Amino acid sequence: MKRIAILLPVAALLLSSAAQAAGDLSRADPTEIVIEMGASGDKMYFKPDHIELETGKAYKLVLRNVDEAKHEFEGHEFIEKIFTRKVEITDPSGELVAEIKGPVTEVEVGPNRRVEWFIVPVQTGENIPVECAIPGHREAGMFGTVTIK
Ligand SMILES: [Cu+2]
C-alpha cells in the first residue's frame, strides 16, 4: 500500500498536466542512459556502476545485456523512488515487440538483448543500491548505485 500511496499523486499529476505540453512528463523527451550488463572472466558487472538522476526529469534506461547469460536490474529502494512510464522491448533490428505500462519492480534481460525502461525519479536518495539478483551474480560484482538529486 505504501507504494500505491506514493505513486497515485504522481500519476494524477502526469494525467492532469496533459493539456500543458511543457509540464507533461508522460510525453517528455527522455535523457538516455545506457547500462551495459556483462561478464569478463569470472567477474560480472554493470557499466557504469553508478548513475546520477534528477527528480522530475524523464529518463530512458537502456539495459543492454552483452553476455551469453540473462541478467536482472533491480533494487527495492530504487523502484520506490521512481515512476515507471513504460518498458519497451524491441527485436534485434529495433522493431518494437512489446510496450509494458504500469509499476515495475525488476527488469530481466535475455542474453544479448536490450530493454528500454522509461522512468521519472520522484524521490531523492544517495547511493541507492541496485543489483542483479540471479544467484551468484551480485557476489561476482554485478551491482551498482544510483543517486537521485
Ligand atoms: Cu546477472
**How many angstroms separate the alpha carbon of residue 74 from the centre of ligand 1?**
10
pLDDT number for residue 1: 47
Q: Quick one: which of 50, 44, 87, 98 has its CA closest to 66? A: 44
**How many angstroms separate the alpha carbon of residue 14 from the centre of ligand 1?**
33
**How many angstroms separate the alpha carbon of residue 63 from the centre of ligand 1?**
12
pLDDT number for residue 25: 63
Q: Quick one: which of 4, 18, 113 has its CA closest to 68? A: 113
**How many angstroms separate the alpha carbon of residue 22 from the centre of ligand 1?**
38
For the segment 52-109, what is each residue's pLDDT rounded down to a tens digit?
Answer: 999 999 999 999 999 999 999 999 999 999 999 999 998 888 899 999 998 899 999 9
| Pairing label, strands 82-90, 43-47 | unpaired
pLDDT number for residue 19: 42
**How many angstroms separate the alpha carbon of residue 71 from the centre of ligand 1?**
4
Q: State the residue for C-alpha cell 539478483.
A: 133
Query: Is residue 73 within 8 Å of 37, Cβ to Cβ?
Result: yes
**Portion of the chain with pLDDT greater than 90, in percent:** 76
**How many angstroms separate the alpha carbon of residue 6 from the centre of ligand 1?**
29
**How many angstroms separate the alpha carbon of residue 38 from the centre of ligand 1?**
8
pLDDT number for residue 50: 98
**How many angstroms separate the alpha carbon of residue 5 from the centre of ligand 1?**
31
HSE (side-chain half, CA atoms, 13 Å) at 72: 15
**Portion of the chain with pLDDT greater than 70, in percent:** 82
pLDDT number for residue 28: 73
**How many angstroms separate the alpha carbon of residue 70 from the centre of ligand 1?**
6
Mean pLDDT computed over 36-63: 97
**How many angstroms separate the alpha carbon of residue 105 from the centre of ligand 1?**
16
Considering the domain 29-148, what is its CATH architecture? Sandwich (2.60)
pLDDT number for residue 111: 95
Query: Is residue 126 within 8 Å of 89, Cβ to Cβ?
Result: no
Q: Where do runs of H (alpha helix) occur along 17-134?
A: 76-80
